Structures are given as structure tokens and as C-alpha cells.
Structure 1
């Protein structure tokens, strides 16, 4: 009972933390007399936690006699494998059964990394690193470099660049720069979409948690729950959209078209 009361108090204190600008990482840096960007530290922390989760899953799998048989009930292993099945089904739907195994690792990694970076903002005393433009731009550039590298590897650098010239050689002077520009805009659009939505979600959550009804904070009246659920939905949707668009870009970059069938 005491633990439940403490947990509820911690969750309802989000408005105080947000209004005062308090963060656990900020307090730790003050205590250690260090000053690193909070979004970088949080992103590194998420990476370490996900890596540890991966090693833990690997240990659990190696200890099982028959890994085909799932555990009983809701376990860490079952949750990880359910996530893997979900991501693999999305890869099949967008990339096809042939390419799904090839790009599964990238897709699974990028989704869970963004989702974890989004959802950590719902924990009192933490801010989502995806609220910072440099983080989302780095993720967008990572996706950009990946699908272009895969396009060059699958088609060859010369054939990949030919796709930007269009099907008619005499229109290449006009089409090539337009296609290059539209491709280079992709990481920026990915970054701005993710950054804008997460920043807006965090501001909306903070604003509504600070509202008062008849002198009582809405958070203390249980009004925080719908906004937490909405925030959770936004975190998932933004990670999903970023991942789906990255898969679409991979599919476009690695598609084996005849030159006459371009676009």
C-alpha cells in the first residue's frame, strides 16, 4: 500500500517537476559538477539500457532448451519476441518477404530507440531527447545514410545515381537536381516531424497538468491519466511513422527498376 501511494505521488508530481525545470540528470550533473547536454546524456542512457536488455534476452534464450516454445504467461522474453514479430510483420508488409530479413535489424533498432526516447519523457524528472532537434536530425541523417548506402550496394553506385536522372536523357538536366533535392530533404522532414510532435506533446502534457479546477490541480484529481495515455499514443505513433517512412525510403532506394520504368 505504501509503495502504491509513493508511486502515485511521484506520478502526480510531474507538474511540479516540469514547472520548476527539475530533471534527475540535471540534479546529478550539479552534484558531480559536470555540464553535458541533457539530451545527449539521456540518449546515451537509453542506448545503454536497450543494450543491457538485449544481453539479458540473449542470456535467457541461451538458457532455454527449446527456444521455439514460448514461456508461460507474460515474461520479458515473450514481450521481446512479441515486439520482434510485430516489427517483422511490418517489414514483410513494406519491404516484402525477400528483403524483410535483410533489413529487420535496422528497422527493429530504429523503432525501439525512438520509442524509448519518446516514452522516457512520460517519466517524472526526465525529458525526451527527441524533443531536441539535434537528436532527431541525427536520427534522420542515420536513416538517410543507411538507405542511400543500401541503394548503392544493391544497384551499384552508377545505376543508383541514374535513377535520379529520370527515364529521358534530355530531361536529366532538369530532373536530376530536383530528385537530389527531394532526397536530401528526407532526413530534415523526418527530423522536424518527430521533433515538432514530441515538443508539442510535452508542452500539452505540462500545460494540462498545471491546470487547476476549483483550486485543485487537475493532476491530483486524476485528470492526468487521459493525458498520459494520449502521450503514450503519440510516442508510439511518432516512432511508427519514422520507421515506416524509413522502410519506404529503403524500398525505393533498393528497388530493381529498368531504366525505362523509372518512377
Structure 2
């Protein structure tokens, strides 16, 4: 009997070794279990000079631990892993543009498009006046009480200059008008808008801003720079609602 048991001892030892190895492998793998896995979307890694897409991405304690095919990444799934189905949406690792004017996307879509080609059609001040005039329907004006447009670029205009209040007065002398430069660091107002916000020949330049003047050196020409412009931009692009009207009262 003892001889027979000794005969099978190597098999028992080998089996025990395999079981222990598997157990150790599981213990080692548990250290890499993902906290969260994103899958089923267009996941852009931003690696290299061309777009690089992967099927899934694993996050471990706030750090990207694995990117690859869905099958590869799912090997890091554990019982406590949160699975997020992107449902075909696009995922980026973060906002790559360090200087994007996100606030302008909404107003740009609703105001007059004053961008130069190829994003718009404004190549001269006459083009700008025409575009603003076409946009200035009663329905559009009632949105904010202002006529407004965004994206003009003086360097791309045939005249190579900023429009002035005299140019914008051709669109309307009744309604306030504000147009925003493509840089968002300048705006131009018509005479009605300057009157509405209280900018006159006696208004000094605010700290950090410039009120451009007519050749006589005193009368505002409608072009406002930096902190002379920024406080008034929201007035032109903020929709009229009971709440906003109450704030302005």
C-alpha cells in the first residue's frame, strides 16, 4: 500500500503546485483590477500625430491603467469595477486646447455670423452691415433686446480697420448694437448702445481698458478694448427672461 501511495506522490505534488500557482496569479491580478472601464465608444488617446482610436480604457484609482481592444481591457474587470457604456460617444483624455472660448459657442450660433471665409462671408464693412441688417429681424432682436454679431476680424476686412459706431448706425439707430471681435478682446457699439451703457466723451478709460476716440480725441468712436468692452458683452448676448430682467433692474 505504501509503495502504491509513493507511486502517486509526484502527481499529488504537481497538482498542488499548479493550484498554488493559479491562486498566486489571481492574487497578483487583483492588484490590477480596474476601478472603472469605459467601452463602446470612439476613444481618442491623443498619442502621435494622427488620431489614434481604441475600443476601451481602464482606470485604476484615477490613473489610466490600460487602453486597447474591449477584450483586452475587460480582462482587468473585477466584481467592483464600474462599467460605463459610451454608447458610441467620443471620449478624450482631457481638454487639449488650453485657450478655448467655450462661452462663445452659444452666442456664435444665435447671433449674426461675422466671421471671414471660410467660416463666414464677411470680407468688408459693407458685408458686415449687410449681414447685421439681415439678422436684425424682430424675432431675433427680441431675444436680448440687442442686435449682435460675433467674429469680425479687422485684419481680414478689405478696409483693414475696425468698424465704428458710424458704420453700425447704418444698421439701426433705434436698437443697441454690439459686435464682438474674433479675439473676444474688442467690441464695437453703435450710438444707441453707447448711450444705453452710459459711455460719453466724459467717460474715462477704465483700468485695463481703452475707449477709442474720434480724431478730436474726446468723442467715443464705438470701439472698446479689453475691460472697456468685457463688462458690456453679456448685456448684448444674455437672453431676456424675467429673472435676467430683474437682475438688470
TM-score for the superposition, normalised by structure 1: 0.25
Bigger Rg over Cα: 2
Give the structure with the higher percent helix. 1
**Bigger strand fraction:** 2
TM-score of the superposed pair, with normalisation by structure 2: 0.26
Tell which has more relative contact order, 1 or 2 (C-alpha 8 A, sep 6+).
1
